[in-house]
Amino acid sequence: MQFDPDPEEKMYEALAEKLCVDLSIIELINPYIGEDNGGSKDEWHYGYYFEIPSYNDLDEDVQEELKQNNIKGFPFGETIYISDGELSGTKSDPLGWRADYEAEEYYRKYLLPKERVVEELDSIAKKVKYSDDQLIIKALLFSAFSITESYIRSLVWSKIPNFENGILDKKLEGVLKKHLSESLSKTPGRQQMYKIFTDNRLGDIPHNNPFRNSLAHDIGQGQVTDGKINVKNKNGKEYEEYIDVIIDDLKKYVSDVY
């Protein structure tokens, strides 16, 4: 199962909230958690099954402890199904959905002026020019890609109409936000959303492949020599470009996109 850090605790907290019981009860009965992906091999996911053991199958010590709690009506021996959307609505948010779309909400509501982004890229270029540490230079270049990508995500979010109008069911709203968040985290998804809501084409971020991707996967692999960065793609093919050319192209990309 793929959960956030301390996954079992968060899932147990969510189940306790849904069943309106204290977390200690869930921890005592230790239910089995199974995933529901609809039997498909794709990446889509629907929810989780919580298999509650029957009361008689529990250890006597556990039964004695449970008697100290209000367990009247507790669904012993049943399987509880909770959808991903319902889990995201709990305080524990075990799948991290709410945290994800709150970050995306920030992108949508607080779009930086492109002039600020260009200024940040200019600042990075100056720091690169006066540094002779390879690791620092590569980290600065990666930050230039990250700033550019964050701006583009914010820009695309700003093109999507606000659907928080109280009309949508909260579960549906959560699923929609999660889907949009996942789409905007990848280049094809951003381009698709931009095309849908603007009827315009969003070009690729310059030099993302191979330079940004190489730095993201192994920042120690690239080499910086005489103002140029050299990297290899996954097939071992080498690419080389002047760092100031890369940053200038990022600045032009940010300036030209609307």
171-201 residue pLDDT tens: 677 777 777 877 888 899 999 999 999 999 9
Say how far apart CA 10 and CA 16 lie, in whole Å: 10
pTM of the model: 0.60
Give the per-residue pLDDT at 120.
93
The domain locations on the chain are 7-95, 98-256
Q: Taking the CA of residue 204 as centre, how many other CA atoms within 13 Å lie in the half-sphere pointing to its CB?
A: 7
Q: What is the helix (H) or strand (E) element at residue 225, kind and residue range?
A: strand 223-225
Q: Edge-to-edge, what's the strand order for the sheet holding 228-232?
A: 223-225, 228-232, 238-242
Phi (first) and psi of residue 54, to 5 degrees: -70, 155
* Mean pLDDT confidence for 202-229: 91
pLDDT digit string, tens, across residues 224-244: 999 999 998 878 889 999 999
pLDDT digit string, tens, across residues 60-119: 999 999 988 878 889 999 999 998 878 877 888 888 776 666 666 666 666 778 999 999
From 37-51, 150-164, 235-249, the region with the lowest mean pLDDT: 37-51
Say how far apart CA 140 and CA 138 lie, in whole Å: 5
